[in-house]
């Protein structure tokens, strides 16, 4: 039965696209891109266009699109708002297509583009995503965005929570040390996730810029049942 494989990748610098052509890739950037994307869809966004460059985001703005764009925590002057999930309110996003500028996120989506499918994972949609994933007869690659190519803890404990649940189903197995480590770290974090995340480097970075107000929200399980998936350069929700 346990014939579907789980692998975990801790950094874009470690991703091996040729190994995952048949897999569903879950893109994980808990603080904050994947949480913001799930929030946008929860609040009624129609679709999201992830773009890498500032110039590209600006061109979309000039065409009349709603643009969310930050660099190093600062909202770009032409943008409508920044990358915190709290910016994606129903008033702003309902029925809209949003251009979301994210260097790392866009890079990961491009790296994973040869996979069978790309979905966006966060604690906010973890339950719904797990239910849907188990209905697909596919191997899973848990792709942690990390930070500037480095390993980070918040994406890893999410990968651990996800992998733990999949293994418990009996449908999956793993021989991947990264997955085993993520599950072990989740076993330490799960009883007090907010307390555990206190120590992570990204929390300090966000706090230094007064951008840490959304962290508790980003760790909230099952805020939404939306499952954002990537198709032809566009993020939309599964019906």
Does 185 bind a copy of itself (CB under 8 A)? Our answer is yes
Min dist CB 178 to a copy of itself, Å, is 5
DSSP strands (E only) in the chain: 4-9, 24-28, 47-51, 66-71, 74-75, 97-101, 117-121, 140-144, 172-173, 228-231, 234-237
Of the pair 135, 199, the CB lying nearest a copy of itself is at 199
Min dist CB 152 to a copy of itself, Å, is 5
- DSSP one-letter string for 4-63: EEEEEES-GGG--GGG-TTSEEEEE-TTTHHHHHHHHHHTT--EEEEE--HHHHHHHHHT
Min dist CB 163 to a copy of itself, Å, is 13
Distance (Å, rounded) from C-alpha 104 to C-alpha 113?
14
Report 127-156 residues binding a copy of itself (CB under 8 A). Answer: 149-153, 156
Does 187 bind a copy of itself (CB under 8 A)? Our answer is yes
With CB under 8 A, what is the number of residues at the site for a copy of itself?
A: 25
Min dist CB 71 to a copy of itself, Å, is 21
**Chosen residue from 62, 184, 192, 208 binding a copy of itself by CB under 8 A:** 184
Of the pair 62, 208, the CB lying nearest a copy of itself is at 208
What residues have CB less than 8 Å from 168, skipping those under 6 apart?
A: none
Contact window for a copy of itself (CB under 8 A) among 31-39, 126-134, 200-208, 216-224 = 200-208
Q: Strands 4-9 and 140-144, how do they pair?
A: parallel
Of the pair 190, 231, the CB lying nearest a copy of itself is at 190
State the DSSP code for 81.
B
Of the pair 19, 238, the CB lying nearest a copy of itself is at 19
Does 198 bind a copy of itself (CB under 8 A)? Our answer is no
**Chosen residue from 89, 176, 217, 236 binding a copy of itself by CB under 8 A:** 176
Report 3-32 residues binding a copy of itself (CB under 8 A). Answer: 10-11, 13-14
Of the pair 206, 237, the CB lying nearest a copy of itself is at 206
Q: Distance of CA 34 to CAs 1, 109, 122, 146, 161, Å?
A: 31, 12, 6, 12, 16
Structure tokens, 105: 């996120």
In our burial notation (b when 16+ CB lie closer than 10 A, e otherwise), range 171-185 reads: ebebebebbbbbbeb
Does 204 bind a copy of itself (CB under 8 A)? Our answer is yes
Distance (Å, rounded) from C-alpha 140 to C-alpha 172?
9
Distance (Å, rounded) from C-alpha 195 to C-alpha 178?
23
Report 109-128 residues binding a copy of itself (CB under 8 A). Answer: none
The residues of the shown chain that bind a copy of itself, judged by CB under 8 A, are 10-11, 13-14, 149-153, 156, 175-178, 180-181, 184-185, 187-188, 199-202, 204
């Amino acid at each position: 039965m346990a014939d579907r494989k789980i692998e975990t990748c801790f950094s874009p610098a470690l991703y091996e696209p040729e190994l995952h052509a048949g897999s569903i890739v879950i893109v994980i950037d808990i603080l904050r891109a994947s949480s913001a994307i799930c929030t946008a869809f929860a609040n009624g966004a129609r679709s999201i266009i992830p773009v890498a460059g500032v110039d590209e985001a600006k061109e979309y703005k000039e065409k009349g699109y709603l643009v969310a764009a930050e660099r190093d925590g600062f909202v770009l002057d032409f943008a409508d708002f920044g990358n915190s999930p709290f910016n994606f309110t129903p008033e702003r996003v309902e029925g809209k297509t949003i251009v979301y500028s994210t260097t790392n996120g866009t890079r990961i989506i491009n790296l994973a583009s040869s996979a069978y499918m790309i979905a966006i994972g966060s604690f906010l949609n973890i339950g719904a995503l797990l239910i849907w994933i188990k209905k697909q007869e596919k191997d899973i690659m848990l792709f942690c965005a990390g930070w500037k190519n480095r390993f980070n803890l918040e994406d890893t404990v999410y990968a651990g929570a996800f992998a733990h649940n999949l293994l418990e189903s009996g449908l999956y197995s793993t021989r991947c040390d990264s997955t085993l480590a993520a599950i072990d770290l989740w076993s330490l974090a799960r009883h007090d996730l907010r307390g555990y995340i206190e120590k992570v480097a990204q929390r300090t970075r966000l706090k230094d810029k007064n951008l840490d107000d959304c962290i508790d929200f980003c760790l909230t399980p099952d805020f939404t049942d939306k499952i954002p998936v990537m198709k032809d350069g566009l993020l939309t929700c599964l019906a």
